[in-house]
A and B are shown apart, each in its own frame.
Chain A
Amino acid sequence: MIANGKKIDLERNLSLQEFLDGMGYGLSEVAVEKNGAVVPKNSFETVMICDDDTLEIVRFVGGG
């Protein structure tokens, strides 16, 4: 799969939440697009990631 332009080998299919946890992202601080479609925040646990997927992950830091 590809995340933010980098190729990553998945050992198994996993939920988006598991993937983000494993990559060290805070779940409440990211917006994610999977294969060009935005993933609603309440679907992070149920949306599955497989080796064909492309993710774009945007992390927001505080300040405004």
Chain B
Amino acid sequence: MKNAMPNRDELESVMAARHTPEAHGKIKAARVAVAGLGGLGSHIAVSLARLGVGEMLLVDHDAVELNNINRQNYFIPHLEMKKTGAMKSQLTDINPYINIKTVDAYITEDNASDIFDGYDIVCEAFDNPESKTVLVSTLLSKLPNVKIVAASGLAGFGSSNDIKTRAALSRLYICGDETSAAETGRGLMSPRVMICAGHQANMVLRLILGIEEA
């Protein structure tokens, strides 16, 4: 029947069949936070929802603007909405049975560990390098068990194959080419942003499944 809302058991059995029951069980039990809901974070969040990650935290302080639409997973009707709300409504349309929390906040050294405490895996998906380092350094030093999947270097239209995932520090993975900063003449464009977000989401999946190798 068209537009019928699947019940929880129906959706679960389809996903378990696709992902295998063992993987599905681990994914459903996972708690993952996404820090920043721009080009990277919006695509990471959609991917994690499609996987069926059981509990997600979405953190951002911005609203959707027209100049986001070239690469971020929002649509014209989302303009001026808070990104947390716009993203939560999309994820709920993908899987209404996952538990999604949102926090509208700008992350600082003072609030980072309180906001992300309790999440096994945090995706760093901020735009500016200072915010990236504040999040990564603060969480790695204050939360002894957290694993972070971060991004660095994804602007422009350089080769897709330059974007890699590597284990950079003990509990830190970096995705990107680590050089292509967003700057005048090298903007953020959908394909490489999505490739990098895909790297991040897949590293999250690997960690959920107990694989620590990049």
**Residue B133 contacts which of A31, A36, A63 (CB distance < 8 angstroms)?**
A31
Docked pose: A59 CA to B137 CA in angstroms: 12
Docked pose: A26 CA to B170 CA in angstroms: 22
Q: Are B169 and A31 in contact (CB under 8 A)?
A: yes
List A contacts of B153 (CB < 8 A): 61, 63
Docked pose: A30 CA to B38 CA in angstroms: 21
Q: Is A38 in the interface zone, CB < 8 Å from B?
A: yes
Residues of A1-49 at the interface with B, using a CB-CB cut-off of 8 Å, are 26, 28-33, 36, 38-42
Closest chain B CB from A59 CB (angstroms): 7
Closest chain A CB from B12 CB (angstroms): 33
Asked, given contacts A61-B153, A64-B38, whether A31 binds B178 with beta carbons under 8 Å apart, the answer is no
Docked pose: A30 CA to B39 CA in angstroms: 22
Q: Are B137 and A40 in contact (CB under 8 A)?
A: yes
**Residue A64 contacts which of B140, B151, B169 (CB distance < 8 angstroms)?**
B151
Per the CB 8 Å criterion, the residue count for chain A at the interface is: 21
Q: Are A63 and B154 in contact (CB under 8 A)?
A: yes
Per the CB 8 Å criterion, the residue count for chain B at the interface is: 40
Q: Is B82 in the interface zone, CB < 8 Å from A?
A: no
**Residue B127 contacts which of A38, A41, A42, A63 (CB distance < 8 angstroms)?**
A63
Q: Are B130 and A28 in contact (CB under 8 A)?
A: yes
Q: Are B109 and A61 in contact (CB under 8 A)?
A: no
List A contacts of B181 (CB < 8 A): 61-63
* Binary flags per residue of B169-201, CB closer than 8 Å to A gives 1, else 0: 110101010111111000010000100000000
Contacts A/B (CB < 8 Å), 14 sampled: A31-B133, A31-B137, A38-B137, A38-B169, A58-B168, A60-B129, A60-B133, A61-B129, A63-B127, A63-B153, A63-B155, A63-B188, A64-B40, A64-B193
Binding site for A on B (CB under 8 A): 36, 38-41, 109, 125-130, 132-134, 136-138, 140-141, 150-155, 168-170, 172, 174, 176, 178-183, 188, 193
Binding site for B on A (CB under 8 A): 26, 28-33, 36, 38-42, 56, 58-64
Interchain residue pairs A-B with the least CB separation, the first 3: A63-B182, A61-B181, A60-B132
